[in-house]
Amino acid sequence: MEIKVEIIKRETIKPSSPTPPHLRCFDLCLIDQLQPASFISLLLFYSNNTDHPPLTHVKSAEISHTLKASLSETLTRFYPLAGKVKDNVSIECSDDGADYLEVQVNCRLSDILEQPERKLLRRFLPKEIDSSCLLLVQASFFCCGGMAIGVRVSRRLADASTASMLIQAWAGTALGSGEAVLLPEFGVASRLPPRRELSATRSVNEKSAVSRRYVFDASKIATLKAKAASGSVPQPTRVEAVSALIWKCARTVSRPSKLVQIMNIRKRVVPPFPESSFGNLMCLFVAKTGDRETELQGLVIELRKGIEAFTENYASKFQGDEAFSVFGESYKEIDNLYAESIHFIGFSSWCRFPLYEADFGWGKPTWVTVGDLVHKNFIVLLDTRDGGGIEAWVTLSEEDMALFECDKELLEFASLNPRVKN
């Protein structure tokens, strides 16, 4: 059956209260300025389960009204997302609003979850019309009563932590528990001020790349962690073990000698930033290994060294000019990797963010996954619904993927695109 996604309505959701005049200009922080002109994309799928009133008995218009009203309230708290980029230094908080789409899908949610494909999943994300819009939302209603919420938020304002906080605040507002959720803290730019001399960032497009989904069950990760343990790292984390295995298997394909890890720095700097800090608070570190280092234990050690080196060398330098120097070096190293065509692989972990707690009033998500993936040689890690496993979206060139997806050691620990358990 051909799956059709029909747009029923498209509108702009404005904040429920106007932004006060003294907040109309929001300064980007230094790290915001360095982000590409693209979006973080997330998809949350909700089944028509038996623990809540069936969605088939509730008009989609009523559900959509709840989503829109709560989004409007949430935008008052996250007011920069309702504005427009003024220049490479600030956001004009003009209450222009977020783009909202309501669509109808002619299939059951179970048809999508049977074997999720990236090309099909993109259809549940809102398409960009106004290039200046910073937040886009799409509510997709399936004929079985299930639904999907697709969110795209500008990377100029949000990292994974900020995107997760936004979704939690929105869901809490819809559920009527908005007072219990974290409120964003907007003081990052005072400590990491923007630099007017920085040029605008460019968008990234990797049309030749393909993505595959791998799921590591909790029991397999336990075995993998035991295999990856060593005297130097006796207790590797889930993310370290899975990242090292993917790095190891990728080395047999494209031989990436360097691994670029995106790290949330809110709690890793001195003094720490509040957990609810709004914006991009992440840093890149590079783990390196020689051509002979192919053992899992050694790769985990290199990953741990990268984190420890960051803490030792940079944690106390996130103020003013020192911060500019730190990030200048970090991004210069990444630019050199691209310029010199050095094989490397990048990782971003969304694990431990409470995305599976996003209950808008009809239960928690059946499945949460990432949306668009455009970076070649890049991997995104997320929790599975039980919290113990990891879902990895791996994006490689077509040629490399043809070899990577057949790797026996990888398939010993991970399942290639299994059915999402409903």
Q: Binning pLDDT at 50, 70 and 90, where does residue 339 land?
A: low
Is there a contact between 338 and 286 (Cβ–Cβ < 8 Å)?
no
CA distance 117 to 113: 9
Please give the share of the chain, as a percent, with pLDDT higher than 70. 90
Residue 343's pLDDT is 75
Token digits of residue 246: 């993917």
| Identity of the amino acid at 350 | W
CB atoms under 10 Å from CB of 195, counted, come to: 16
Strand partners for 283: 263
Torsion of CA 73, 74, 77, 83, to 10 degrees: -100
Mean pLDDT of the chain: 89
Q: Which of 36-50, 234-248, 319-333, 368-382 has the lowest mean pLDDT?
A: 319-333
Identify which has the larger pLDDT, 86 or 11.
Answer: 11
What share of the chain has pLDDT > 90, as a percent? 65
Q: Could you give the angle at which helices 296-314 and 218-228 cross, rounded to 10 degrees?
A: 80
Please report which confidence band the pLDDT of residue 293 belongs to, taking 50, 70 and 90 as the band edges: low
Give dist(CA 225, CA 223) in Å, integer: 5
Q: Which residue has the higher pLDDT, 202 or 119?
A: 119
pLDDT tier at 257, thresholds 50, 70, 90? confident
DSSP state of 185: B
Q: How far lies 165's CA from each of 66, 74, 298, in Å?
A: 19, 11, 35
Instruction: State pLDDT tens for residues 214-223.
Output: 999 999 999 9
As a whole number of angstroms, the distance between CA 63 and CA 52 comes to 13
pLDDT of residue 380: 96
Residues 6+ apart with CB under 8 A from 399: none
- pLDDT of residue 80 exceeding 80, the answer is yes
pLDDT at 178: 62
Residue ranges of alpha helices (H) inside 43-150 are 60-77, 109-113, 118-121
pLDDT of amino acid 101 = 96
- pLDDT-based confidence at 195, cuts 50/70/90? confident
CB proximity list for 353: less than 8 A, separation 6 or greater: 160, 161, 164, 383
Question: What's the residue count for the chain?
Answer: 422
Token readout for 47 is: 């089944």
Q: Give 260-296 as a DSSP string.
A: EEEEE-TTTSSSPPPTTB-S--EEEEEEE--TT---H
- Residue 405 CA to residue 408 CA, distance in Å, equals 9
Helices in 51-210 by DSSP H: which ranges?
Answer: 60-77, 109-113, 118-121, 160-175, 188-191
Please list, in sequence order, all residues whose beta carbon lies within 8 angstroms of the beta carbon of residue 195, skipping any fewer than 6 positions away. 30, 33, 324
How far is residue 309's CA from residue 263's CA, in Å, rounded to a whole number?
13
Which range, of 234-238, 248-252, 364-368, averages the lowest pLDDT?
Answer: 248-252
H or E stretch at 92 = strand 90-92
Arithmetic mean of pLDDT, 338-344: 63
CA dist., res. 229 & res. 244, Å (int): 11
pLDDT, residue 211, reads 93
Residue keyed to tokens 């209950």: 359
What are 5's strand-pairing partners?
105
Residue 345 to residue 261: CA distance in whole angstroms: 9
- Residue, of 317 and 420, whose pLDDT is higher: 420
Q: Is there a contact between 91 and 81 (Cβ–Cβ < 8 Å)?
A: no
Domains in the chain, please, with CATH?
5-191 (3.30.559.10), 209-416 (3.30.559.10)
Sign of the dihedral through C-alpha 211, 123, 11, 74: negative
Band of pLDDT at residue 203, cut at 50, 70 and 90: low
Q: 344-349 and 378-383: which strand pairing?
A: parallel
**pLDDT for the residue numbered 57:** 47
Q: Reply yes or no on whether the pLDDT at 40 is more than 50.
A: yes
